[in-house]
Amino acid sequence: MTDVLFICTGNFYRSRFAEAVFNHHAEAMSLPERAFSRGLLAHIVDGELSPHTARAMAERKIPMHCTSLLPTALRIVDFTRARHVVALHEEEHRPMLAARYPDWVEKVRYWSVSDLPLAPEIALPQIEENVLRLLAELRPR
């Protein structure tokens, strides 16, 4: 079982960064948990990875293997693979989850990281802070 599922709209920017930060730090901390990410509307994305995400990963020296290769659409099986499910922006994602996956909507933890046009210089550090807090929760005592 993979431990953490990050969900956003396109699986191009926010959720991929959350996945990369989580996996990079979990690996460095020798934690067994790993993350993966999915998008509610991955079909709308044009490209493999947001340049904002790629740049932020490079600045933090996070290797590309810490995130998925391509945007991937969310499926029910993804919920069953994860012990923890996080949607990046409650106001944006809760209605989409309720419409498509009503049995799962209340089992998701919601953060408050808006999509563009919120500046990546604001959004990406917010994601990083939330991921580090989550890792601290998961770290064995």
pLDDT, tens digit, 9 for 90 and up, residues 77-95: 999 999 999 999 999 999 9
1 pLDDT higher than 50:
no
In this predicted model, what pLDDT tens digit does every residue of 90-130 receive, in sequence order? 999 999 999 999 999 999 999 999 987 879 999 999 999 99
Determine contact, residues 85/48, Cβ cutoff 8 Å: no
In this predicted model, what pLDDT tens digit does every residue of 33-73 receive, in sequence order? 999 999 999 999 989 999 999 999 999 999 999 999 999 99
Q: Which CATH class is domain 4-138?
A: alpha beta
Sketch the domain layout of the chain as residue ranges. 4-138
Q: What is the pLDDT of residue 2?
A: 63
Of 8, 33, 24, nearest to 57 by C-alpha is 24
Tokens (6 digits) for 22:
């989580």
DSSP 132: H
Q: What is the pLDDT of residue 116?
A: 79
